[in-house]
Amino acid sequence: MPTDSPKPYRTPLDVLKHVYGYDHFRGDQAAVIDHVMDGGDALVLMPTGGGKSICYQIPSILRKGVGVIVSPLIALMQDQVSTMLELGVRAAFLNSTLHPADVREVEDGLMDGEYDLLYVAPERLLTGQFLSLLDDLDIALFAIDEAHCVSQWGHDFRPEYIQLSVLAERYPNIPRLALTATADEATRRKIVDKLRLGDATPYISSFDRPNIRYRVNLKDNQKKQLLDFIRSEHDGDCGIVYCRTRKRVDEIAAFLRDEGNDALPYHAGLDAGTRAAHQKRFLQDDGVVIVATIAFGMGIDKPDVRYVAHLDLPQTLEGYYQETGRAGRDGLPATAWMIYSVGDVVALRQLIASGEADEAHLRVMQHKLGAMLGFCETTECRRQTLLRYFGENYPQPCGNCGTCLTPTETWDGTVVAQKALSCVYRTGQRFGVGHLIDVLLGKANERIGQFGHDRISTFGIGMELSANEWKSVFRQLIATGLLDVDVDGYGGLRLSETSRDVLKGERIVSFRKDPTPTKSSTKWLEKPSRGKRPPVALDDPQSQDLFEALRQRRMEIAKDHSVPAYVIFHDATLREMVVRRPQTLEALGTISGVGERKVERYGEQFLELLRRDIDTRKSIRKL
């Protein structure tokens, strides 16, 4: 391993312990680091929160030269650099937010060997001027973060990523890592092909996030459902709420604020200054809820996001996994909560068809949407379904998702399906769900009469089901591919190639039984008192008070340093302080997540609170 540099640490474990404050590597981290230290290329797939960044940060610290990290978003690289500087690691970034004088200062520092890590956007890296600068540097490695951006079929496609193959051509002897948390088999092949990583060793960790509970429900009263979820399970917690349109983002953010939540909107229609201010508040303050389009969140490292809520159906499982993965990065319990409707399916199919992609791309996107619908409609363990999509076999039901906790009933819907499909055919395969239900229920309204649909054989043959039950039937027929959406018109339904088997009685159709809302759910939960945050499962009120005092001290330090609070310490680290109550700097340094630099900079400030708590407990015992 190259160690011919003035860097103070000799082994990866030295760096992990003294810089990061951890005693053990997780998963494949040690194997990846050793491979890169020996000059090898790697394809690294780890779940969000799995510690991908350590796989390139530690080799960059140890190897001769600077590690160049290609990062897709300004906020991501700035957050990473802030974290590195707090750890005492020499790091910098180059992006469009810097003034020319600052850019020159960083470039001069690179020439003088002052940095272990340099974060740069792909657009800047690909310029001739920057590549010429790299030619004159000692480079420890190249790391291409969020590598799934290379796939045109992915949810975060960045065309510049395809051009990063220049690194293989120009610097063939420098190790390269491509890292992502989200890639199915097709996307992995794209990464290897486009980035010319044919000889890279793949390190594919489990995609499972066991601390996240996946729950999916049907849309009923969206605002009520969201508010009840937040108030009953995550009042005062930090969360992200995703909506499909900017208008909905603004509407939901205003609604949550009116109901007493600290909620902020985020979408591309806001000016850059407002977006930056809202993101900064979300990162640095506690209990902020961001309501956003999918423009928000890529690369967000905030560890204490306790929930991610989707008010609209995501287009792909990759996108859903990436977005829900922003919850619970600290390993503590978190919730991925979603509601959807048949209208979401129609809207997404129309969106896919309205693009200018070729036929092959359209087929892929329709397949991905089908997989997303399959996840929503499954009666099996949601975790098993999700992981199966990414090629991973989860051996048994997880016991921690909506279908495991509340098993779904099914019913034989073959005859009902035949009625629905026949109605679609008899009405000309061009009408939407609402009109078809009116025909099946025998509603003789003006529109039915206008088209003569009160005189066809399917008029009134569906009286055994309610309108809501028929909505469920049509939703599931679309999800299973027995009905197609006319994406060129107004979202009318038409028979698919597989419909014939059902109509001829050659295929049995089973439907999931949708839960019936209870009377109690029609009333919104009472607004709770806005006091302390919910307990963090500590053993007594005094421990909870100490935890809150440590969090307050952390927030004060973070504001002084203009960094998010979690850059100082994670909640999990503060909890361990409460449980173990160290009384010396040496003992504090044994807490997970407390490295030497943080002991030196902040140790006494936190020990003051810990010692005071011990004194208080002694006084109480004397009484």
Same domain, 113 and 199: yes
Per the structure block, which two tokens stand in for 578? 């409460």
Per-residue pLDDT band for 64 (boundaries 50, 70, 90) equals: very high
Per-residue pLDDT band for 298 (boundaries 50, 70, 90) equals: low
- Does 560 fall in a domain? yes
Q: How confident is the model over 269-293, as pLDDT tens digits?
A: 999 889 889 988 898 888 999 999 9
Residue 30 has a pLDDT of 96
Closest CA to 333 of 215, 161, 426, 431: 215
Same domain, 509 and 586: no
Per-residue pLDDT band for 529 (boundaries 50, 70, 90) equals: very low
Same domain, 397 and 415: no
Cα separation, 586 vs 608, in Å, equals 14
Torsion angles phi and psi, residue 128, rounded to 5: -60, -40
Per-residue pLDDT band for 154 (boundaries 50, 70, 90) equals: low
Q: How confident is the model over 552-602, as pLDDT tens digits?
A: 999 999 989 888 888 899 888 999 999 999 999 999 999 999 999 999 999
State the residue for tokens 């506690």.
Answer: 286
- Does 3 fall in a domain? no
Same domain, 166 and 216: no
* CATH number of the domain encompassing residue 452: 1.10.10.10
Is the pLDDT higher at 620 or at 366?
366
Same domain, 457 and 603: no
Which range, of 109-118, 151-160, 332-341, averages the lowest pLDDT? 151-160
Please state the pTM of the whole predicted model.
0.78
Is the pLDDT higher at 143 or at 272?
143
Residue 377 has a pLDDT of 85
Residue 149 has a pLDDT of 86
Same domain, 17 and 30: yes
- Does 5 fall in a domain? no
250 pLDDT more than 90: yes
Q: Looking at residues 394-413, what average pLDDT do you find?
A: 90
* CATH number of the domain encompassing residue 302: 3.40.50.300
Per-residue pLDDT band for 177 (boundaries 50, 70, 90) equals: very high
Same domain, 102 and 162: yes
Residue 303 has a pLDDT of 87
Same domain, 292 and 336: yes
Same domain, 330 and 395: yes
Highest mean pLDDT among 4-18, 182-196, 534-548, 609-623: 182-196
96 pLDDT more than 80: yes
Which range, of 102-111, 178-187, 257-266, 598-607, averages the lowest pLDDT? 178-187
Which range, of 360-364, 412-416, 539-543, averages the lowest pLDDT? 360-364
Residue 481 has a pLDDT of 78
523 pLDDT more than 70: no
Total domains, the chain:
4
Domain limits for position 422: 410-520
* CATH number of the domain encompassing residue 580: 1.10.150.80
Q: Looking at residues 45-51, what average pLDDT do you find?
A: 85
- Does 371 fall in a domain? no
Same domain, 450 and 495: yes
Percent of the chain whose pLDDT exceeds 70: 91
- Does 531 fall in a domain? no
Amino acid at 35: H
Is the separation of the CB atoms in 201 and 40 below 8 Å? yes
| For helices 596-622 and 541-561, angle between their N-to-C axes, nearest 10 degrees | 150
Q: How confident is the model over 425-462, as pLDDT tens digits?
A: 999 999 988 999 999 999 988 999 999 999 999 999 99
DSSP 519-546: GGGGSPPPPPP--SPPP-S-SSHHHHHH
Same domain, 516 and 607: no
- Does 61 fall in a domain? yes
How far lies 121's CA from each of 127, 276, 401, 462, in Å? 11, 18, 37, 58
Q: Provide the mean pLDDT of the chain.
A: 87
Kindly give the residue spans of alpha helices, DSSP state H, lying in 112-263.
122-125, 128-135, 159-162, 166-170, 185-194, 222-233, 246-258
